[in-house]
Amino acid sequence: MAASGSAAAALARAALPILLRLPPETSHALGLYGIKLLSRQWATPPAPASLAVQAFGLRFAHPVGLAAGFDKNGDCVDALGALGFSHIEIGTVTPRPQPGNPRPRLFRLRRAGALINRMGFNNSGADHVAARLGAAKYRGIRGVSIGKNADTPLERAVDDYLACLRKLYGVADYFAINVSSPNTQGLRALQSTDALAGIVEPLQEERERLAATHGKRVPLLVKISPDLDDGQVAVMARSVRSHALEGVIATNTSTHIEGFEAELARAQGGGISGAPLREKALAGLRLLRGELGRDIPIIGTGGLMSAADVRARLEAGANLVQLYTGFVYRGPPLLTECLQALQ
């Protein structure tokens, strides 16, 4: 990293403790602004070619990306990309802008290295995200997580997923079909076999039409809950295979982690991420890999707080990983640590 990049990294490290004393959403907004402000000073060297990963028909410079939820609207793709992420997942995006759930809706559990969020897909809508990604210069892989608006009935959810696919197809490298967030009422019901088929099959049909128009075939992945039991994971794996989805993201946040019932109750719902989710997400990944075999790529996320966590997830069968809560608490040094450990 060049001298200016070292100075930017030092400034980011110094700012992090201050940001973590502010209300979580305020801290997040200021953190994004700071990354944007310092982005021209970062001089992250390219990852060695030996770390490159081929998955979903795409080439990733290395395994470590940024999960959906950090940059919901694609406003900071270039700045975040300058830090060195191989891929950045935007969203979750809905067809129409929506404010999300009432505040407060994001809570820190600092001693546990965790977050609880019940954000509710707050975002500026698919048109805004399409414009932002269309203007971005980031050369890494751009994923887009798509969902339904809160006021769209479940029986019409497919209309929202299709609207997002159409509006964002030209600027996305892959789509994550989010049917596992606990923060939109009833959404997790879309993980059932029949409901998932009612979403995926129309998306695949529309994807073929769009591929002919845009000259590219954008992969479709599904993001699953860590709260599925072993039988449900097996059923989900069969669905992934039968619907010829290109991959799986495992996992979303959890609404059931032993020892954190009181904290979740105080937050009035939502999902927990970070260190308490580590073992549950890892176990889910291992089970899913056993069900899917080796040929369907998996992105592992949930509870990745250190380079050791990233290594464990890759050894358990993930092709790629995504940071979120660990990045909130540790900032850019976590990404640097992970990449150095993988070399």
What is the DSSP annotation of 283-329? HHHHHHHHHH-SSS-EEEESS--SHHHHHHHHHTT-SEEEESHHHHH
Helix/strand number for the chain, H first, E second: 12, 13
Give CA–CA dist 148/228, Å, rounded: 21
What confidence tens digit (pLDDT) does each residue in 176-212 have? 999 999 989 889 999 998 999 999 999 999 999 999 9
From first CA to last CA, the distance across the chain in angstroms is 16
**Has 50 been annotated as catalytic?**
no
Q: What is the pLDDT of residue 66?
A: 98
The mean of the pLDDT values for the chain is: 95
pLDDT band at 5 (very low <50, low <70, confident <90, very high): low
Angle between helices 278-292 and 307-315 (to 10 degrees): 20
C-alpha Rg value of the chain to the nearest Å:
19
Residue 157 has pLDDT above 70, yes or no: yes
Count of alpha carbons within 13 angstroms of residue 21, beta-carbon side: 4
Residue 4 has pLDDT above 60, yes or no: no
Q: Which structure tokens are listed for 50?
A: 């030996």
Per-residue exposure over 1-24, b if at least 16 CB sit within 10 Å of its own CB, e if not = eeeebeebbeebeebbeebeeeeb
User: Is the torsion defined by CA of 30, 36, 37, 42 positive or negative?
Assistant: positive
Which residues are bridge partners to 248 per DSSP?
Answer: 222, 298
pTM: 0.96
Residue 128 has pLDDT above 60, yes or no: yes
Residue 303 has pLDDT above 50, yes or no: yes
What confidence tens digit (pLDDT) does each residue in 160-178 have? 999 999 999 999 999 999 9
What sections of 181-245 are H helices per DSSP?
193-214, 230-242
Domains of the chain with bracketed CATH: 1-43 (no CATH), 47-342 (3.20.20.70)
pLDDT band at 2 (very low <50, low <70, confident <90, very high): very low
The answer to whether 62 and 86 have CB atoms below 8 angstroms apart is yes
Query: Which residue in 124, 145, 180, 181 is the catalytic one?
Result: 181
